[in-house]
Amino acid sequence: MKYGLYENAKDLLDKFKQIYPDNIEIHQRLKKLYKEIDHKEEAITECLALKDLYDKRGEQENSAQIVKEALEINPDDERLSSFKEMPIYQYTVETAKAPSIEEYSEEIAEADFYIRQGLIDEAHEILERLNNIFPDNVEIKRRLESLGHVVETGEPKVEKHEAVLEEKVAIEEMAKSEDVIEAEEVEELELDKDVLDIFEEFKKGLEKEVKEEDYETHYNLGIAYKEMALIDDAIKEFQISKKDPKRAISASNMLGLCYMEKGLYSLAIEAFKDAISMTKEKDESYWSMKYDLAEAYERNGDIKEALDLFIEVYGWNSKFRDVSEKINNLKVKVSEDIDKRKTKDRKDRVSYI
C-alpha cells in the first residue's frame, strides 16, 4: 500500500479509536499498519494498548503474545524494560500459542498482487518478513526464490542475480508503455478499495453495536464521517442524532453543511432554517447559521433571499467572514437582473405593438 493510502487508513482507524477506545480489532489493525510502514514507536503503543485490553479480559496468552511481539519490534524501547525482568511473564510468553500462517493470508495475497504488478521490492519486503516469522514454510520460500532471493536452507545456495537484473530491466522498459500506466491505475483502485474495505467492515460492526437511541455516538460518528468526506454516512448519523433534543440544533446545522457539500441546496436551506428556529440565543453560532443559510440561498439561485440575510449578518458584525464582499457582489447581480427584466419588458412591448 502506498504511503498516502496508509495515511488515509490511519486517519480512518484513529477516528474509530477515538469513538471506541476499547475495540481490540481497531488497535490490531493500527498495530499492523504501523509495522508495515516501520513506525516502531506507534506500533509498540498499540501493542501496549492491546496488552491492557487483554489483561482486562483475562486473556493471558494473548497478553503475553502481544508483549512478545512488541519486544520483537524494538527490544530497546524503554516502555518494555520491565517486561524483560519478569520470569513468570517470560514463562507465559514461552507457552503462548505460536502464530499461524493462516493469520497472515492478507499479507500473502498482497505480496502476490505486487508480484503480478512487477513491484518486486514491495513483494520481497513482505515475503522476507513472513520468512522470518515462518522460516520452515515452503510456499513462502518458493515465492522468495521466484523473485531471485537466496533463501537459507540445507541445500546449496542458488543465486539468481542475472535473472533479477533482467527482470528489473524488463520492468523499467514496460514502465514506458501504456499497459503499465493502466496497471498502476488498477493498483491505485485496489489500494483505495483496501481503505474502503476497512471502513465497511467497521461500519457493519458499529451498526450492530450502536443502539438507535445512543444519539451521542451517532453524532460523533457523523462528525468523524464528515471529516473523512464520507458525506452520505455522515448524513445518516446526523439524521438519527437530531432526534435528541439536546443535539437537535447542532445535528440540523451539520446536516445543512453536509447537504451543501452534496449540492442539495434546497435541503440545506430547510436544515439551516430548522436549526435557526430552535436557537434561542443570538450568539455567534446563531449568526454563523444565518450566514450559511444565506449562502445556501445564493447557491440555490435565490438571490434576493440571500442578500436580505447577508445584510442581517452585516448589521450584527460587518467584519464577519466575507459578508461585505458577498453583499456587494449580490447587489450587482440584483441590479443586472433588474436591467435584464426591464430590457425584456421593453422588447415584449415593442413586439406587441
Total domains present in the chain: 2
Examine residue 288 and state whether it is found in any structural domain, yes or no: yes
Pair (347, 217) in one structural domain: yes
Read off the pLDDT of residues 90-105 as tens digits, 9 standing for 90 and up: 534 444 445 677 777 7
* pTM listed for this prediction: 0.53
Nearest to 291 by CA among 252, 257, 245, 262: 257
Q: Which residues, in sequence order, are CB contacts of 59 under 8 Å at separation 6+?
A: none
Pair (166, 220) in one structural domain: no
Q: Residues 244-271: what's their mean pLDDT?
A: 95
Pair (142, 233) in one structural domain: no
Examine residue 61 and state whether it is found in any structural domain, yes or no: no
Q: Which residues, in sequence order, are CB contacts of 13 under 8 Å at separation 6+?
A: 26, 29, 30, 33, 198
d(CA 197, CA 184): 20
Pair (313, 219) in one structural domain: yes
Pair (233, 338) in one structural domain: yes
Nearest to 300 by CA among 333, 257, 267, 274: 267
Q: Which residues, in sequence order, are CB contacts of 69 under 8 Å at separation 6+?
A: 47
Read off the pLDDT of residues 276-300 as tens digits, 9 standing for 90 and up: 999 999 999 999 999 999 999 999 9
Q: Which segment of 134-143, 177-186, 339-348 scores lowest on mean pLDDT?
A: 177-186
The Cβ-side half-sphere exposure at 42, using a 13 Å CA radius, reads 15
Per the structure, the complete domain to which residue 134 belongs is given by 102-176
Pair (146, 275) in one structural domain: no
Pair (297, 216) in one structural domain: yes
- Residue type (1 letter), 193: K
